[in-house]
Amino acid sequence: MSHQMRAAAIHDLSGFGKCSLTVILPLLSAAGVEACALPTAVLSTHTGGLGGFTFRDLTGDMEAFGRHWRSLGLHFDAIYSGYLGSVEQIQIVAEIINLLKSEDTLVVVDPCMADHGKLYRAITPEMAKQMKQLCALADVIVPNLTEAALLLDRKYHPGPYAKNQIEDTLAALKTLGCERIVLTGVSLEEETLGAACSDQYGFHYCSAPKVPGHFHGTGDIFASVLTGALLRGHTLKESAQIATDFTYDAVLRTSKAGTDPRFGVNFEAGIPSLIHRLGLMPSTEG
Ligand code: PXL
């Protein structure tokens, strides 16, 4: 038996709205990975349109979490960070990565800052600068196209994109210092949406049919399934395809159900098939 993988998940806990830790922990668990939560803040909901949310900042506790875990001699197979609330938090995450990382730790940075050409509430342009430095510490980064534009000081354009534009963006992102990149929200034609990846083997694309609408939390769902699949030994390309399919299924299910997209997507119903796809359970089908 191989050892159980362990990941440090550095994200906020938004109680309602299905993003950050409330989706990342169950999806890492579904991949068989032990998920250790390093909460950056506690909110009643995400900041994406529900209004009136509570916010308790945990910046002052973050480094102590990292130091305590280090003192316990814990080995982390992955360190995965996402939405961060200030320049200071980004700097602290960089310190925690250096504190907890071993030779074989996979560092995944999702530079959550913006989507559809707009910064999330509470994200400042100064944070985008700092996020570039965090990306340099990562083995894999997972920006969407808006975040890629911010990281590269370029203007955001809504798609569809030509392959050469996407590959130029991926090559420019690589100069930030991270070898493996998964760019999300990539649409090469009107009817599809997916991801484009770059690694030492070149460029890869994956896509699914586009579902109309903006669904909250899908970036966190994509990045946590990607991280889980990578930890289970899938290549970057395979992992991105698994994450694309899983996210598409959740969005389609939610669109059919007609729930408020600010309430997040029904990813829970996809967990059994994700477990099968990651080879963690004998298939009961055929
Ligand atoms: O899904 C990214 C995210 C995470 N956490 C909080 C957010 C958002 C996006 O808006 O508001 C608190």
Identify any residues that bridge with 21 across adjacent strands, giving them in sequence order: none
- Residue 14 Cβ inside 6 Å of ligand 1? The answer reads yes
CA of residue 54 to ligand 1 center, whole Å: 13
pLDDT reported for residue 158: 84
Residues of the chain with pLDDT under 50: 286
Q: Compute the distance between CA of residue 245 and CA of residue 229 in angstroms, rounded to an integer.
A: 12
- Residue 22 Cβ inside 6 Å of ligand 1? The answer reads no
CA of residue 68 to ligand 1 center, whole Å: 26
In testing the pocket of ligand 1, which one of 11, 14, 110, 222 has its CB within 8 Å of the most ligand atoms? 14
Q: Which tokens in the block code for residue 224?
A: 């946590």
Q: Is 46 helix (H, G, I), strand (E, B) or coil?
A: coil
Q: Compute the distance between CA of residue 32 and CA of residue 29 in angstroms, rounded to an integer.
A: 5
CA of residue 99 to ligand 1 center, whole Å: 25
Q: Are 43 and 36 in contact (CB under 8 A)?
A: no
pLDDT reported for residue 281: 78
pLDDT digits (tens, 9 = 90+) for 187-199: 999 999 999 999 9
- Residue 149 Cβ inside 6 Å of ligand 1? The answer reads no
Position in ligand 1 atom list of the atom nearest CA 41 = 12
- Residue 83 Cβ inside 6 Å of ligand 1? The answer reads yes
Q: Which tokens in the block code for residue 248?
A: 């598409």
Atom 6 in ligand 1: which residue has the minimum CA distance? 46
pLDDT digits (tens, 9 = 90+) for 130-161: 999 999 999 999 999 999 999 999 999 887 89
CA of residue 131 to ligand 1 center, whole Å: 16
Q: Is 124 left (phi over 0), alpha (psi -120 to 50) or beta?
A: beta
Q: Are 250 and 270 in contact (CB under 8 A)?
A: yes
- Residue 267 Cβ inside 6 Å of ligand 1? The answer reads no
Q: 191-195: which pairs have CB atoms within 8 A and are 24 or more residues apart?
A: 193/248, 194/244, 195/222, 195/240, 195/243, 195/244
- Residue 55 Cβ inside 6 Å of ligand 1? The answer reads no
Alpha carbon separation from 28 to 10, 59, 117, 164 (Å, rounded): 13, 24, 29, 33
pLDDT digits (tens, 9 = 90+) for 178-189: 999 999 999 999
Q: Indicate the Cα dihedral angle 47, 86, 91, 9, nearest 10°.
A: -20
CA of residue 103 to ligand 1 center, whole Å: 30
CA of residue 281 to ligand 1 center, whole Å: 32
pLDDT digits (tens, 9 = 90+) for 254-282: 999 999 999 999 999 999 999 999 989 76
Q: Which tokens in the block code for residue 100?
A: 């907890």
pLDDT reported for residue 162: 95
pLDDT reported for residue 286: 46
| Amino acid found at 107 | V
pLDDT reported for residue 3: 87
Q: What is the mean pLDDT of the chain?
A: 95
Q: Which tokens in the block code for residue 286?
A: 């055929």
pLDDT reported for residue 121: 82
pLDDT reported for residue 122: 82
pLDDT reported for residue 283: 54
Global confidence as pTM: 0.96
DSSP classification of residue 5: P
